[in-house]
Chains A and B, each alone.
Chain A
Amino acid sequence: MTFFVRTKQKISRFLKTFFKKRSSRIGIYGPPNAGKTTLANRIVRDWTGDAVGPVSEVPHETRRVRRKENITITGNDGQSINIDIVDTPGVTTKIDYNEFLEYGMEKDDAVKRAREATEGVAEAMHWLREDIDGVIYMLDATQDPFMQVNIMMVGIIESRKLPVLIVANKNDLPDASAARIKSAFPQHPVVSISGLEGNNVEELYEKMASYFG
């Protein structure tokens, strides 16, 4: 499988030098702790064998935008796309260091984390304005999707006319409900996966290849 993928990538890179097609940048957005980096890691590992960044149960682990270029994703029907994956810090409207203290963090570290997380949100929004061609909006399916930040973010993405694929993550957990997310965003395709366990990621790849292609 890996050999096949590598060869395919080499061919596609070779072809690209002729056609100069810019790969589309797909940003993974969503609230903190939705599993954005976990999914980014899985996508990158599945198609290149690499990793994007560390994950943690403490919110705002990702505080800088991370990018992995030139990933070719092939759906089961053979359709493939070349993308850059952009993993972004969780977007939220309120950041308070007290939240991190509950995870046993020292006050100074928590305050620093809060400041970096705030800068991270600004950076994520900068990318959304300037450099993103399509969005995977990631939601924790065990949480209420009708949070104001989600409605606002999807609205912002829509107003920029970017294609958005909504991912209902954590379907390995008993409380997860993809139906609730579907009812919240009926205007967009929703894929239910578990980024951690890898459930149903094939469907996601298939959808990505056809939707962002």
Chain B
Amino acid sequence: MPHKCTQCGREFEDGSTKILKGCPSCGGKKFLYIREARRHDDVLEEKSLEEIIDGAGVEDVLEVKPARSSREVEVYDRVESIRILGPGSYELNIEKMAQSDEVVVRLDREGKYMVDILSMSKKKKRE
């Protein structure tokens, strides 16, 4: 019933949430599901971990992939130069503003964008 890390062989209880972030011991991302009946095969039949893995079906191997949404985008990697959080509340991306004159404005948190096309087409103003 438990999962076994295919890299270091550490066993985890069934339904353990620890493996969702990879093996805490070696960081391995692949886990083999072992049926209770075959749990002690590696010792009884003197099989190495690799042999057990080879013998198991693909469906028994669980691969944990890091969730993409958990990666928070750095403020300064964002596309918008000005983010409007609400009336009178703004977040400014100075590095974006330093790079170009294009102003991309994000409204609220709904993913609505305003792009000032007029300012992009305007010729460079010299006073």
Contact = CB atoms under 8 A, between A and B. Distances in A.
A149 B94 contact: yes
Given A118-B82, A149-B94, A156-B94, A129 B101 contact: yes
Q: How large is the interface on A (under 10, 10 to 19, 20 to 34, 35 or more residues)?
A: 20 to 34
Contacts of A115: 88, 90
A153 interface: yes
A156 B90 CA distance: 21
Nearest to A95: B90
Contacts of A130: 124
The residue in B82, B88, B91, B103 that gathers the most chain A C-beta atoms within 10 A of its C-beta is B88
B87 interface: yes
B92 interface: yes
A93 B83 CA distance: 10
Interface of A: 67, 91-98, 110-112, 114-115, 118, 121-122, 125-126, 128-131, 149, 152-153, 156, 160
B98 A118 contact: no
Interface of B: 75, 81-82, 85, 87-95, 97-98, 101, 103, 124, 126-127
A93 B88 contact: no
Contacts of B75: 93
Contacts of A94: 90-92
Contacts of B124: 130
Contact of B97 (A67, A97, A122): A122
Contact of A114 (B81, B88, B103): B88
Contacts of A91: 94
A125 B88 contact: no
Contact of B95 (A112, A129, A131, A152): A152
